[in-house]
Amino acid sequence: MKQKSSLRSLILADQPVGRQVHADFRRWSRHKICENLRHLRATFSFVFFIYSTLPASPATIDTFSVFSNSMQKEIKNIVVLPDDYNSGEQEFPVLYLLHGAGGSCFDWITFVPELEDYADQHNMIITCPDGGFTSWYFDSPIDPKMLYETYVSKELINEIDKQYRTIEETKGRAITGLSMGGHGALYLAFRHHEIYGAGGSTSGGLDIRPFPKNWDIAKRLGNYKDHKSNWENNTVTNMIGLLEGSRLAIIFDCGVDDFFYDVNLEFHKKLLQAKIDHDYIERPGGHTADYWKNAIKYQILFFSEFFELNQ
| Cβ-contact 184, 159 below 8 angstroms | no
Residue where one domain finishes, among candidates 19, 35, 52: 52
Q: Name the residue range of residue 31's domain.
A: 2-52
Structural domain count, the chain: 2
> Do residue 48 and residue 64 come from a single domain?
no
User: How far, rounded to the nearest angstrom, does the alpha carbon of residue 25 sit from its chain's CA centroid?
Assistant: 64
10-residue stretch averages of pLDDT, the chain, 311 residues long: 32 36 42 46 39 52 95 97 91 98 96 96 97 97 96 98 97 98 98 96 98 96 96 97 94 98 98 97 97 97 97 84
Reduce the DSSP state of residue 61 to 3 states and report it: strand
C-alpha–C-alpha distance, residues 167 and 88, integer Å? 15
Contact predicate 127/95, CB 8 Å: yes
Q: For residue range 66-104, what is the model confidence (pLDDT) as tens digits?
A: 999 999 999 999 999 999 998 888 999 999 999 999 999
Query: Is the same domain home to 10 and 42?
Result: yes
Spatial CA neighbour of 138 closest among 124, 127, 128, 153: 153
What per-residue confidence (pLDDT) applies to 110? 95
Span 264-299, pLDDT tens digits: 999 999 999 999 999 999 999 999 999 999 999 999
In whole angstroms, give the CA distance from residue 84 to residue 191.
32
Are 124 and 166 part of one and the same domain? yes
Residues 128 and 270 in one domain: yes
Shared domain for 9 and 91, answered yes or no, is: no
- E strands along the chain, which residues? 60-68, 73-81, 94-98, 125-129, 173-177, 198-202, 249-255, 279-283
pLDDT value of residue 87: 85
Regarding whether 145 and 283 lie in a shared domain, the answer is: yes
Q: Are the CB atoms for 134 and 215 separated by under 8 Å?
A: yes
> Residue 86 belongs to a domain with what CATH number?
3.40.50.1820
71 and 144 part of one domain: yes
Reduced to 3 states (helix: H, G, I; strand: E, B; else coil), residue 233 is helix
Please indicate, yes or no, whether residues 67 and 47 belong to a single structural domain of this protein.
no
Q: Of 208, 202, 178, 174, nearest to 188 (Cα)?
A: 174
Would residue 127 be called left, alpha or beta, if left means φ above 0 and alpha means ψ between -120 and 50 degrees?
A: beta
CA–CA dist 297, 121 (Å, integer)? 11
Separation between Cα atoms, residue 295 and residue 283, nearest integer Å = 9
pLDDT for the residue numbered 245: 87
41 and 68 both lie in a single domain: no
**117 and 40 within one domain:** no
Helix crossing, 2-13 with 16-52: angle to 10°? Answer: 100
Closest CA relative to residue 200, chosen from 295, 275, 82, 310: 295
Confidence at residue 5, expressed as pLDDT on a 0 to 100 scale: 33
Residues 23 and 84 grouped into a single domain: no
Name which of 249, 95, 81, 119 is nearest 174 in CA terms. Answer: 95
pTM for this entry: 0.81
Residues 117, 32 share a domain = no
